[in-house]
Amino acid sequence: MKQIRITRTGRNVDQQVLLRWALPLILSIILLAAAWPAQAVTMQAQPEVTSGFVADEIIVRFAPTDQQTRATLMAQYGLQTMRYLAGLDTYVLRTQPGAVMQLVDELGGRTEVIYAEPNYLAQAALTPTDPDYSLPDRVYAPQLIGAEAAWDITTGSAEVVIAVADSGIELSHPEFSGRLLPGYDFVNEDSDPSDDSGHGTHAAGVIAAAMNNGQGTTGLAPGALIMPVKVLNASNLADWADVAAGIVFAADQGADIINLSLGGYAGSQLLLDAVRYAAGHGVTLVAAAGNLGLELPYYPAAYDETIAVMATTRSDERFILSNYGGFVDIGAPGVEIWSTLWSAGTPGGYGFASGTSASTPHVSGLAGLLLAQRPDLQPAAVRAIIEQTAVDLGAPGRDPFFGAGRINASAAMTAAVNWTPLPDTPTPAPTSTPTVTPTPTVTLTPTPTMTPTATATATPSATATPTPAPTAAPAVYRVNCGGAAYQDSQGNLWRADQAWNGTWGYDSGTTKRSSKQVHGTADQPLYQAWREAPGRYRFSLPNGAYTVVLRFAEFNVANASARVMRIEMEGATVEAALSIYGSAGRYTALDKVYQAVVNDGELNILFAANGGSYDPIINAIEVSFAGATLPTPAPTATATPYIQRVNSGGPSFTDGQGVVWAADAPYVAGAWGYFSGAAKSTTLAVAGTLDDALYQRWRDNPVEYRFTVPNGAYHVILRFAEFETTRASDRLMQITIEGVTVESALSIYGLVGRATALDRIYPVTVATERSTSVLSGMAAGRTRPLRPSRFVEQRACACPPGRLVISIVTIIGYDEPA
Which has the closest alpha carbon to 537: 610, 596, 611, 625? 596
Burial 713-737 (b: 16+ CB within 10 A, else e): bbbbbbbbbbbbbebbbbbbbbbbb
Cis before residue 300, ω within 30 degrees of 0?
A: yes
Task: Provide the phi-psi class of 520: left if phi over 0, else alpha when psi is between -120 and 50, else beta.
Answer: left
Helix H or strand E encompassing 529: strand 529-532
Please give the C-alpha separations between residue 618 and each of 511, 520, 578, 589, 685, in angstroms, as whole numbers: 10, 17, 12, 12, 29
Q: Is 166 a catalytic residue?
A: yes
Which has the closest alpha carbon to 416: 379, 365, 382, 368? 382
Task: Provide the phi-psi class of 431: left if phi over 0, else alpha when psi is between -120 and 50, else beta.
Answer: beta
Residues 6+ apart with CB under 8 A from 797: 470, 473, 626, 639, 641, 642, 710, 712, 713
In sign, the C-alpha dihedral spanning 301, 302, 303, 306 is: positive
Residues 6+ apart with CB under 8 A from 130: none
Residue 395's Cβ-side half-sphere holds a number of Cα atoms within 13 Å equal to 8
**First and final C-alpha spacing in the chain:** 31
Q: In whole angstroms, what is the distance from residue 669 CA to residue 381 CA?
A: 61
Q: Residue 353 pairs with which residues in a beta bridge?
A: 34, 337
Residues 6+ apart with CB under 8 A from 716: 737, 761, 762, 763, 764, 774, 775, 792, 793, 794, 804
Torsion of CA 616, 619, 620, 626, to 10 degrees: -40
From the list 199, 202, 519, 715, the catalytic residue is: 199
Q: Provide DSSP, 331-348.
A: EEE-SSEEEEE--SS-TT
Residue 335: Cβ within 10 Å count: 27
Q: In whole angstroms, what is the distance from residue 199 CA to residue 211 CA?
A: 21
Tell me if 192 sits within 8 A of 169, measured CB to CB. no
Q: In whole angstroms, what is the distance from residue 391 CA to residue 330 CA?
A: 10
Q: In whole angstroms, what is the distance from residue 531 CA to residue 481 CA?
A: 6
Tell me if 649 sits within 8 A of 403, measured CB to CB. no
Q: In whole angstroms, what is the distance from residue 419 CA to residue 405 CA?
A: 20
**Bridge-based pairing state of the strands 704-710 and 672-674:** antiparallel
Contacts of 575-578 with CB under 8 Å at 24 or more apart are: 575/445, 576/610, 577/610, 577/611
Q: Is 362 a catalytic residue?
A: no
Tell me if 287 sits within 8 A of 31, measured CB to CB. no
From the list 157, 339, 354, 357, the catalytic residue is: 357
Catalytic residues: 166, 199, 357
